[in-house]
Amino acid sequence: MDLPSEKPLKIHLVNSTESPEFTHLTQSLTRSSIIGLDAEWKPIRGQTHQPTFPTVSLLQLACQLGHDSDESETFLLDLHSVPLPSIWELLRETFVSPDILKLGFKFKQDLVYLSSTFCLQGCDPGFDKVEPYLDITSIYYQMQHKQQGRKGPKETKSLATICKEVLGISLSKELQCSDWSHRPLTEEQKTYAAADAHCLLKIFNVFQDNIVKKGNSSNDMVELHSSGVNLGLKEILEKHDIDDKIIRIKYFEASHIFQATVSSENCQRIAEVDVAVSRTSSRNTMPMNESLLKIVRKYGEKILLRESDRKPKAARKKAKKHPSLVAVTREKQLDNTGDWQGPPPWDLSLGGDGCPKFLCDVMIEGLAKHLRCVGVDAAIPSSKKPESRELLDQAYREQRVLLTRDAKLLRHQYLIKNQIYRVKNLLKNEQLLEVIETFQLQINEDQLMSRCTKCNGRFIQKPLTTEEAVEAAKGFQRIPDCLFNKNLEFWQCMECNQLYWEGTQYHNAVQKFIDVCKLNE
C-alpha cells in the first residue's frame, strides 16, 4: 500500500493548565474520535525490589481531528509541571468516553504506573479502566490474519517492528531509556515521544483502510441520518422518534456555532443543556461515525485494572523467595529416585550383549551427540514431540536406558525397571562425564569418532580412498576440491551413507574428547 507523504508532526508541550496549549488540548479532545496514548517515565536500574511503581513523567496524546481527516495534533502533557489534581477528571473522562477510541501499545503497564502516579498526588483511586480501547498488537495480528488467511504468530512484535512492516518507516527507540524526569526535555525527546503516540494513529488508519470497505462509512451515515439530517436542533428535540446519536451530533454542531458567536455569559445557557444531551460525559465530545463504531463493536477491547495490578510485582512475589520445606523435600526425593539402581538391560547377567545403549529425550539431544562422539550407542526419539508412552516403548523395545531431565518420567519406572535415569547436570560435557561415571562406561581413544553423529550408525570397517569417496558421494554429498591433494582418509556411515574425513575438525574433536574424558590421565 502506498502511504501518503508524511506531514511534519504538530507537537504541543502542555506544562500549565493556564497555557494556550492546554486549552488547545481540551478543544482537540472534543473534536477527536481516535487518540493514541503513550507514557514515559525514568527507568529504574539496578533495583531488584521495587516498593513502588515508577513515576510517570510524560503522557502523550495524539488526537486525530474529525472523522475523515488526516489532520492530527500531538500533545505532550508534562506531569512534572502540571498539578495532577487539575487534570485528573479530564483524563478519567477521556479514558472512559464512549465517543473516543483509545489506541495503545501494551498500555496496561502505562495505565498502572499512571494510576499510581496520580494516587501519590491525592487523586485516589487514580484510573481503573480504558474503554473502548484497541491494542496496536491486536490490530497488527488482525491485518496479518486478513492478508495471509491464517492466525498471526504468537511471538510478540515490538512497536518498531510493527511500524516497519505496516508503515515502512523506522521508529528509533534510542531515547526510550533516557531520563524523562529531567527538565527541560530536549527537542529529540519531544520528537521521540510524539512519534511513539502519533504512529499509533497511522497504523490504525492502515488497518481501517484494509478492514472497512471503502464507501461503507458514507452510505451508512446517509441511511442513519435520513430521517433527521435536514432538521434543525429545535425540531429534532421536539421529535420523539429521532435516534439519540443524531441528537448528539446535531447538538455538537450547534453548540460550536453558538459558542463562536455569542458572549461568554450566554455560553452558560448552552452548558446547562449540555448536561441533558450528553448522558455519559460532562464534556461535549463528538460522537463516533458509524464506520468507526463498527470497528469498535467488532474489535474493541478494554483495560481493566484489578486490585492486584496496583501492587508492585516484586512485593507480590516476595513470599515465593524462600521455597517451602515440602518443595525442597520433594525435589530431594525426585533426585534420589533418579539415582541409578542397576543393573542395565545390556548386562551380561541379564542376557544382554554387554554393549551400552541409551535413548536421550528431546531435552538432552546434545548429550546424544556427545555420547556418539565417544563411541557409545545413543539414539534419539522416533518423533519430534514424543509422548511419555512412546519414549518408554522405544526404550523397552530397543533395550536402552532412557536418559532424561524430566522428573515426571520417573513416575513410570515401574513400567520399565532399571531403564530410566534422570541426568542432573545441565552442561553437555558434565552430562557426558555423569553418564560415563554412573554406568561405568569404558572409553578409550580408539572409540572416539567411531559412530555417525548424524544418525548413530557405525562406520564401515576400513577407510575409503579419495577415488572411492568421490564415487560414494555422487548425487549425495559434495567433497570440497581442497581435500583432493591432502591424502586424507574417508569414512562412510553404514546406515545413512554420510561421508566423514580426518581433517582439522576431526582432529580437534578427538582432542576435545580426550580432554573431556581425561583419557591422558
Where do the structural domains in the chain lie, given as residue ranges?
10-143+157-213+286-309, 339-442, 451-520
User: Of 7, 68, 412, 422, nearest to 214 (Cα)?
Assistant: 68
Under a CB-based contact definition with an 8 Å cutoff, are residues 337 and 77 in contact?
no
Question: Which residue, 110, 36, 23, is CA-closest to 72?
Answer: 36
Report the SS3 class of residue 507: helix
> Domain 339-442: which CATH class?
alpha beta
> Reading across the β-sheet that carries 301-304, which strands appear in turn?
11-14, 72-78, 56-65, 32-41, 101-104, 129-135, 301-304
User: Tell me, which fold does domain 10-143+157-213+286-309 have in CATH?
Assistant: Nucleotidyltransferase; domain 5 (3.30.420)
pLDDT of residue 469: 86
Cβ contact 33:289 at 8 Å: yes
Residue with cell 515521544: 193
Query: Angle 519-520-521 (CA atoms, 0-180°, nearest 5)?
Result: 95
What's the CA gap between 119 and 22, in Å, rounded? 22
pLDDT tens by residue, the chain, 521 residues: 334 445 678 899 999 999 999 999 999 999 999 999 999 998 776 554 567 889 999 999 999 987 666 789 999 999 999 999 999 999 999 999 999 999 999 999 999 999 999 999 999 889 999 999 999 998 888 887 655 544 444 456 889 889 999 998 888 777 878 889 999 999 999 999 999 999 999 999 999 888 765 544 444 433 333 344 445 555 555 555 555 555 555 555 555 455 445 544 454 454 444 434 433 444 567 888 888 988 998 889 999 999 888 888 654 444 444 554 444 444 444 444 457 777 899 988 888 889 999 999 988 989 999 999 999 999 999 888 888 889 999 999 999 999 999 888 888 877 888 899 999 998 999 999 999 999 999 999 989 988 999 999 998 888 888 888 888 888 778 888 777 777 788 888 988 988 888 888 888 889 999 999 988 87
- Give how far Cα 418 sits from Cα of 252, 268, 354, 399, 487, Å: 81, 89, 15, 10, 47
Instruction: Give which of 150, 16, 128, 149 is closest to 75, Cα–Cα.
Output: 16
Residue 387 DSSP class? -
Give the DSSP letter of residue 65.
Answer: E
312 and 51 Cβ atoms separated by less than 8 Å: yes
The answer to whether residues 451 and 458 touch, using CB atoms and an 8 Å cutoff, is yes
**Which secondary structure element, helix H or strand E, spans residue 389, and what is its range?**
helix 388-397
| Residue spans of beta strands (DSSP E) within 364-466 | 377-379, 401-404, 420-422
Q: Identify the three-state secondary structure at position 225.
A: helix
Residue 89, pLDDT score: 95
Which is it for the CA torsion 460, 463, 468, 469, positive or negative?
positive
CA distance 72 to 124: 32
Q: Establish how many alpha carbons lie within 13 A of residue 412's alpha carbon, considering only the half-sphere containing its beta carbon.
A: 20
Q: pLDDT (tens digit, 9 = 90+) per residue, 452-503?
A: 999 999 988 888 888 888 888 887 788 887 777 777 888 889 889 888 888 8
Euclidean distance between CA atoms 280 and 283, whole angstroms: 9
CB 513 within 8 A of CB 373: yes
Question: Beta strand pairing status for 129-135 and 101-104?
Answer: parallel
Cell 562422539 sits on residue: 373
Say which DSSP state 129 is in. E
Quote the pLDDT of residue 163.
92
CB atoms within 10 A of CB 48: 5
497: which DSSP letter?
-
DSSP reduced 3-state for 494: coil
- In which region does residue 393 sit, left (phi positive, over 0), alpha (psi from -120 to 50) or beta (all else)? alpha
Q: Where are the beta strands (DSSP E) in 415-498?
A: 420-422, 490-492
For 519, counting Cβ atoms within 10 Å of its Cβ (0-12 exposed, 13-18 middle, 19+ buried), the class is middle
Q: Are 163 and 137 in contact (CB under 8 A)?
A: no
First and final CA of the chain: distance in angstroms?
68
Distances from the Cα of 232 to the Cαs of 73, 235, 249, 262, 506, in angstroms? 31, 5, 11, 19, 90
Q: pLDDT digit string (tens) for 10-38?
A: 899 999 999 999 999 999 999 999 999 99
Measure the CA–CA gap between 326 and 328, rounded to whole angstroms: 6
Longest dimension (CA), the chain: 108
Give dist(CA 472, CA 515) in Å, integer.
Answer: 33
Residue with cell 539496578: 46
Angle between helices 136-148 and 290-299 (to 10 degrees): 90
